[in-house]
Amino acid sequence: MKKVNNGLVKMNRQYFGTDGIRGKVGTYPITPEFVLKLGWAAGRVLCKGHSGKGKVLIGKDTRVSGYMFESSLQAGLSAAGVDILLSGPMPTPAVAYLTHTLHAQAGIVISASHNPYYDNGIKFFSADGSKLDDEIERAIEAEMEKPLETVGSSMLGKALRVEDAAGRYIEYCKSTVPRNLDLAGTKIVVDCANGATYHVAGSVFRERGAEVIEIGNQPDGFNINEACGALHPQTLSKAVLEHGADVGIALDGDGDRVMMVDHLGNILDGDDLLYVIACHRLLGKGLGRDKMVVGTLMSNLGLEKALANRGIRLARAAVGDRYVLELMKKHGLILGGETSGHIICLDRTSTGDGVIAALQVLAALSGMSYSLHEITSEVSKTPQIMINVKADASVVQYDGTQAAVLAAKTELGDRGRVLLRPSGTEPVVRVMVEGEDAAQIGRLADGIAAVIAERA
């Protein structure tokens, strides 16, 4: 991996992106044949050196294709001589947690996160519930170049279903906030995006005393992320106002990101939620002597200024929760997040977790005696526009693109920022321009996007 211009991160792997392997179902590499071979290769790499067969946990979200890829992974892992634990539909962070507590050598999640149902993907966790290092992903890819060899029949892996997976995760989530946190009298609307949290999220908040109204909790294999959840928080905003709720919580399809809504229907993104948790951690001296949290190159300037007013510094990582986590670990920090709603509380969990992040926000509000609207009003967002252009990542290095970016940066001076970033999960280049004048940044973003579209 190496960093290049504009905050991009270039990956030197063939299949793995910033968050596993992802694509359209039926289009290489998201095919049953590939996933079978991937399971075999992963089993050989991740369980290498383990005494006995080793075991790998498999979880999935609610996409109809999850059944197919679950079977493919089982076949590949079994052929590698690895036992399989099946959790069924479970949030991505739940698989990370269960991998560690069930003493598995690795966890695998079948999910395309916030993408539509016709996409899917494969994500991995190590034995401690962390995402895999680049070196291990490269080792798995190298293993896939070898012929698939099935172990002898006496060594084939067996599959076992984890019947209490949901209950284990619910209890874990509840344990991440003080025992005396009582949400009685609080009305919460929870939007599960018809995804992997549909059978766990509501229970977490209800068992903490809240009155819970659930929406987006009727998955049919096709409606995941469809006009609901963290990608479409307007649905939640409307529901909060209709029910007169105190707060709304919108999760995405695999449960690793969250957006929230205050009692007035205002939509709050990951920057807002990171601010709330950071302020509460600061009061409890939970940010350490450095008083620093990690955001990304996309984090709004308004967040940085609001944190500074509280005496908290913001470090910026490349976009992607894995890079946020890397920078957190490098500096020994406990809190980081992305505007998209990935919030990582390393003093509570090993990866981004939408349910746990929402609980931390509610605990913060209780501990500081603020309403969600009051505390987030301290974050005055700088106008920011993002345009997604369908294009190959190479277009970023095109002379015309670079010239357009330079011209925009020159015009903005120190009153704004320009960022180009190829998505790690879909074939688009994201154009972000931030500045004080909304009309100006819109014009500049449109100009850069037009240059990219013409070259694509």
Structure confidence by residue, pLDDT tens digits, 228-250: 999 999 999 999 999 999 999 99
Residues 187 and 54 in one domain: no
Q: What is the dihedral of CA 88, 90, 96, 101, to 10 degrees?
A: -60
Q: Are residues 134 and 82 in the same domain?
A: yes
Residue 8 clears pLDDT 70, i.e. is over it: no
Confidence of residue 5 (pLDDT cuts 50, 70, 90): very low
Domain harbouring 98, CATH code: 3.40.120.10
Residues sharing a CB contact under 8 Å with residue 51, sequence separation 6 or more, in sequence order: none
Task: Confirm whether 72 is a catalytic residue.
Answer: no
180 and 153 inside one domain: no
Residue 2, in any domain of the structure? no
Residues 340 and 352 in one domain: yes
Which domain-ending residue is among 125, 147, 163? 163
Domain-terminating residue out of 103, 128, 163: 163
Name the domain count of the chain.
Answer: 4
Q: What average pLDDT does this structure show over 391-407?
A: 95
Please indicate, yes or no, whether residues 60 and 95 belong to a single structural domain of this protein: yes
User: Domain for residue 287, yes or no?
Assistant: yes
Which has the minimum average pLDDT: 49-53, 349-353, 356-360?
49-53
Same domain, 205 and 292: no
414 found inside a domain = yes
Q: What CATH number should be reported for the domain holding residue 449?
A: 3.30.310.50
Are 103 and 43 contained in the same domain? Answer: yes
Same domain (yes/no): 238, 326: no
Q: Which domain holds residue 425?
A: 384-455
Domain match, 218 and 279 both:
no
Let me know if residue 208 belongs to a domain: yes
The pLDDT of 386-409, averaged and rounded, is 95
Active-site option among 65, 72, 78, 113: 113
Tokens describing residue 61: 């979200």
What mean pLDDT value characterizes the chain? 94
Name the domain boundary from 342, 376, 410.
376
Q: Do the domain assignments include residue 153?
A: yes
If asked whether residues 110 and 139 sit together in one domain, one would say yes
Same-domain check for residues 200 and 294? no
Contact of 117 with 123, CB cutoff 8 Å? no
> DSSP code of 415?
G
Residue with tokens 């909060």: 240
pLDDT surpassing 50 at residue 40 = yes
Judge if 257 and 281 occupy the same domain.
Answer: no
- In this predicted structure, the answer to whether residue 7 has a pLDDT above a threshold of 50 is no
**CA-only gyration radius of the chain, Å:** 22
